[in-house]
Structure 1
Amino acid sequence: MTPQEFVTHGAAILASQPFSRLLGVEIGAVAPGRVELRLAMKPELLQQHGFAHGGVLSYLADNALTFAGGTAMSSDALTSEYKINYLRPAVGELLIARAEAVNAGRTQAVCRCDVFAVKGGVEKLCAVAQGTIVKLAQD
């Protein structure tokens, strides 16, 4: 696939996910084994202290990990497991999740993801995640 075909395909996948549509997530970039997801912050995504809710950061990391693993294996994929470490409160206008496959085999990929909050054009690392992504079995 060309870089533009990857972006078009990734956007179609996001458009097919009702939850991603609800949140308004967009593809920033996508290539084999790599993805960037973007989410504009809005009041509905905040917790009581005005930070992005941890579930929003977790969703972005989970989805980015799966995109990275799926593109690395050239397959539909699912998250088998992941862990996330929250480093600082996410405050800003935009969240960006950048994930990459660290290693990919025939049926699974191990991926990592960094989640950034962007405020005034400055990115701050807010969370890191790692996960195992598995190829979707075609029964």
Structure 2
Amino acid sequence: MISFQSEGIEFDLQEESRISDWLVQVAKIEGFQIEELNYIFLSDEGLYEINMEYLNHDTYTDIITFDNSDDEEIIEGDIFISIERVKENAETFETEFETELRRVLAHGVLHLCGYKDKSDEDTKLMREMEEKSLGLY
């Protein structure tokens, strides 16, 4: 149902089972069921290349989410995460790496549940939902 893999970097997610259960709970609270969700951990450069190729965005980012679902209540998707960017953000926001990583993991699921982050108002709601999700962990 949920898979975690690394591409081009050495990274092993700790507590995979607990994190999977938690992400299922985050989705369920929002009225969604996770059918198939793939997390792919990459370098900054790897994610930048995906950002350029698929979204035509010439920027670095911590996460890119692709929704592959045909059903509104089912989550099927691929979520690409830059581990380098997560580490940098953890330092910037003065938080533990694991906490920032969980925030980004939840962020991807929340996108697949319909939350956006393009406007200030949407970003504020997304942050609130991230905090709520972290509280469930």
Give the number of the structure whose residues are more often helix, by fraction. 2
TM-score (norm 1): 0.29
Give the number of the structure whose residues are more often strand, by fraction. 1
TM-score (norm 2): 0.29
